[in-house]
Amino acid sequence: MTNRLPWWMGGILMSGLLLLTFSIYGADRPIGASTYVPYFAGLIFDLDPEKYVYLKEIKNPGAWEGIMLLGVLFGGFITSVFITKSFRFSLIPSGWKTYKNSSVVSRLLWSFFAGFIMIIGARLAGGCTSGHFMSGMSQLAISSMVFGTVVMISLLITGKFFYNTKDK
């Protein structure tokens, strides 16, 4: 049996993260992760922001997003190992084995395809999923509300097909 953090603890921690991120003592901007990818690519490949439209559109890019992403990775690891004691490494989650198959290739291909579709939708909506769900919805942004609604409807439809147990 694993320990679980109560839902309200997650809400309090998320509120603290948002307050710190939006404040002048934090990043002084909304949470988002997708702008770090072109920022990091620009650093690696020495890209001139004036030549690339997307890089030019990023306001105040910085390494803080990379630090945030590393913090998410290590924070999740520390929480799953020491607090909830639920850490396990698995390429195929138990739900996938139960409802789909045991193929690693199938799992990776479907994960890539689903992630690709989701990031296209997020970019069409003007931001990344973390930016829309955490920052945008906390600011009641219309694009984030539309994105969140479409994601939830898609989740329900996909879940209905994924968890179809009539032939099991």
pLDDT in tens, 14-61: 888 888 877 777 777 777 777 777 778 788 888 777 777 766 666 666
Any domain includes 124: yes
Please state, in angstroms and rounded to a whole number, the distance separating the CA atoms of residues 70 and 39: 15
What pLDDT sits at residue 49?
72
Tell which residue, 21, 37, 48, 7, has the closest CA to residue 119. 37
97 with 82, same domain: the answer is no
Any domain includes 85: yes
Any domain includes 46: yes
- DSSP letter (8 states) at residue 60: S
The whole domain housing 42 covers: 1-89
Please state, in angstroms and rounded to a whole number, the distance separating the CA atoms of residues 69 and 75: 10
Any domain includes 139: yes
Please state, in angstroms and rounded to a whole number, the distance separating the CA atoms of residues 83 and 11: 17
Any domain includes 103: yes
67 with 133, same domain: the answer is no
Better pLDDT: 76 or 119: 76
The number of folded domains in the chain is 2
Any domain includes 47: yes
Is pLDDT at 64 greater than 90 in this prediction? no
- Out of 72, 89, 106, a domain closes at 89
**Whole-model pTM over 0.85:** no
Question: Is 148 within 8 Å of 137 (Cβ atoms)?
Answer: yes
Is pLDDT at 63 greater than 90 in this prediction? no
- Out of 89, 124, 154, a domain closes at 89
Task: At 22, list the tokens.
Answer: 């939006």
- Out of 46, 70, 89, a domain closes at 89
pLDDT in tens, 83-109: 888 888 888 888 888 888 889 999 999
Q: Residue 155's pLDDT band (boundaries 50, 70, 90)?
A: confident
83 with 156, same domain: the answer is no
73 with 126, same domain: the answer is no
Burial status of residue 42 (CB atoms within 10 A of its CB: 0-12, 13-18, 19 or more):
middle
Task: At 34, list the tokens.
Answer: 């997708």
Q: Residue 1's pLDDT band (boundaries 50, 70, 90)?
A: low
What pLDDT sits at residue 166?
61
Please state, in angstroms and rounded to a whole number, the distance separating the CA atoms of residues 138 and 20: 13
56 with 20, same domain: the answer is yes
7 with 85, same domain: the answer is yes
SS3 string of 89-152?
A: CCCCCHHHHHHCCCCHHHHHHHHHHHHHHHHHHHHHCCCCHHHHHHHHHHCCCHHHHHHHHHHH
Mean predicted lDDT score pLDDT of the chain: 81
Q: Please state, as a whole number, how many other Cβ atoms lie within 10 Å of the Cβ of residue 26.
A: 15
105 with 28, same domain: the answer is no
Any domain includes 168: no
